[in-house]
Structure 1
């Protein structure tokens, strides 16, 4: 392979320095994230790392056209239309890290796909986010962001009723079927696992912060430190999911990132907190007088409200995603906005005025954070450029607010149709990423639609 300058900005010296600092590491996971947010790639040996940094790694173009099961979706145009040829993946600067607790010791590095001439491959989700960051930079604006990670810890075995059940405490085997929301003592039973999660995050350079027992048995939330680089914020979320899953497995339980794994309890969200700074580093969402909202934050809310309906497929990409949206479930059911109100879709959190931001609440934890962030930034940009009025604030119970003139889809099928016909989403993701994503979702819908679920037999086998 002929060496060439890395289009991602990665350098050979980064790899050389890392290898010198970590002589114990024997292999590396090299990970590319597809439209569904699934990490795909290879495990390479230590001696292969330098060649990866010198010349990238050839991977088939079809790797970005796979469905949730890892099967080709021909409608993406990324398979036989292009002969399933190789493109070149390059390491992302700053993502080369050791992995905690692996035997033998391994490292990990994220990568992005590029055409052979070095242009960003336009069906790579991370490039879609980079485009939106660059578009805001052209306006002199720079976003900062952080995601929240909600997840379940489940037992590896199903319960007597055949359904998933909360994991027993890894400390002493106790099991609770109670909600336990905000219980600190309940957290103690999982502390050996949580300690390994924090250690894994620290080893990877991620500032994982508060752990909460959430609003369902076996559900937890882990917050992340605010980043001035949105791409890094999305990288953090992707890597933290891998850390949680790996450490849970080491402790004999299953980390679940389905949006709604338990029908009678709240689902898991992936809230995105975002703010914008100008060229001087001033947060443009900050109001001059507390509570008298700035025009930028109102216009940003307006853009997000106006584009939410056609963007819902990004925020709720799977069949299970749509089971999360229910009244009084802490998941929004209309494009409402409010202040210090967890029943709305777009929330201005309480707190220090200098940290003024928007909390975007529709996305489930099963969504792809690169695409979520790209779509949110594009919605904010539209609101700012067109000076869109967000309409009246929702006060009180947001589940009683129909969202007036801005409805959102009520099911997965209508969300797919809305996304397919959305000029906004085509611009937000880029035409190729838009085609790839919607084709993959349509194929997934067809797979689910032709599958006969157990409930059909329960309702109809002996009755119709």
Structure 2
């Protein structure tokens, strides 16, 4: 049958001809936790994947963070755990740098056997929101930022994780080292391989930064005129960083908050809104006067942020990132050139006017984040929502009184998401059901687990 994803057999043939040394290919389907699920196929199997897709069990999109079935999703025994068909995503068939033997990778998306989208696949939620924007004459553009930690494979004497030694010479630093160029030199061999891998995959990876915690780094991605491709970029870059870090003997950590006393890792989304003629509707016509479209878009994002927080902070650890003066937002606020708010309008050329959406942690699914952000923007544009007063100065102290309650913790976010008609519309009913069922199951797993902290606090005291 014709590929419903738009992939073509010619892409596979050209890839195999260009890379005769490649022996195997990772076929990767990304679930709502952002985890790549799939198989490693042999070279001779690739053509059949492009001709006929690849059977995958329905339940693969209903797994929790540990890879166990969540029956409440309805994707396991309710369907007999039958197969659906995964198809390649055009433009994502790439070589993997430095693998032995040489290997490639292709992202996949799930469809029913008749070719209809399988709507628990997060890619389809973003595709639907992009199609909605297209009916408005809009073509969203953007890019994600990737913050992460490089950690030692060995714990410290207390069993805690610790920053990785420099792969160049083994030097150890427990300092924050923010923006230190010399500190980056110690990881130069690893970052050289990351850049080489990015070039092989046509990923627009640009600046590397030593971030605001020991062992923390940031890689930026160049803007895409296709927001779906921007989300794919982030997915592929995380896999690339994790693989190259492992090859260099360190661990790439994408937890939102691995160290309690330091800043966590965000996944900021920069989004602008060109029309079909390429004109950015967020760009102001009068200097110093922001366009109503920009303000209304932020109004929609702020109004929907409380009920959307489970998408932006989907795990128990995610909520430890929201700490005052940590560069993570504490309330649905906006400001100009201000990193203490949830929505930042960066300074710069008015033609590139954009919103930097800052709540999401690096532990989220980028396709779901982008879909939810676009749905919030659409609501703001349709209803002409007012974002309220701009926050100036210290947003952790100067936050105005806000209507509605922002969830205070993971459990509250799960309940807010389950009850949200907006989020159900943004993600689609099927993905909304799947996602909230998985999060509820994960919450119960955490809630019933007796941790080392329990013993520390209570073993000899109560």
Task: Please give the root-mean-square deviation of Cα atoms over the aligned residues, in Å.
Answer: 0.7
Unaligned runs of 5+ in 1: none
Measured at CA, do residues 388 and 127 of structure 1 come closer, stay the same or move farther in structure 2, by a change above 3 Å? same
Superposition map of 1:5-404 within 5 A: 5-400=2-397, 401-404=399-402
SS in 2 for 1:194: helix
SS in 1 for 2:411: helix
Tell me, yes or no, if the aligned pair for 1:336 and 1:403 is still in contact at 8 Å.
no
- Matched length: 461
Post-superposition Cα deviations, 1:427-453, rounded to whole Å, max 9, x if no partner, equal 000000000000000000000000011
State the match for 2:454 in structure 1: 456
SS in 2 for 1:142: coil
Measured at CA, do residues 244 and 91 of structure 1 come closer, stay the same or move farther in structure 2, by a change above 3 Å? same
Q: Which has the higher mean CA deviation after the structures are superposed, 224-233 or 283-292?
A: 283-292
SS in 2 for 1:277: coil
1:350 CA displacement: 1.0
Measured at CA, do residues 133 and 315 of structure 1 come closer, stay the same or move farther in structure 2, by a change above 3 Å? same
Q: Give TM-score, length-normalised by structure 1.
A: 0.99
Post-superposition Cα deviations, 1:304-359, rounded to whole Å, max 9, x if no partner, equal 00000000000000000000001111000100000000000000011111110000
Q: Does 1:446 align with 2:461?
A: no
Separation in 2, partners of 1:224, 1:355: 15
Post-superposition Cα deviations, 1:88-138, rounded to whole Å, max 9, x if no partner, equal 000011110000000000000000000000000010001111000001101
2:433 to 432, 435, 438: 435
Post-superposition Cα deviations, 1:393-441, rounded to whole Å, max 9, x if no partner, equal 0011111215511431110000000000000000000000000000000
Separation in 1, partners of 2:401, 2:44: 57
Q: Give TM-score, length-normalised by structure 2.
A: 0.99
Separation in 2, partners of 1:36, 1:58: 21
Separation in 2, partners of 1:403, 1:55: 56
1:289 CA displacement: 2.1
Separation in 2, partners of 1:341, 1:195: 32
Q: Which has the higher mean CA deviation after the structures are superposed, 396-405 or 124-133?
A: 396-405
Q: Where has structure 1 moved over 3 Å in runs of 4 or more?
A: none
Unaligned runs of 5+ in 2: none
Separation in 2, partners of 1:406, 1:368: 26
2:417 to 416, 419, 443: 419
Post-superposition Cα deviations, 1:373-411, rounded to whole Å, max 9, x if no partner, equal 000000000000111011110011111215511431110
Separation in 2, partners of 1:398, 1:45: 53
1:369 CA displacement: 0.3
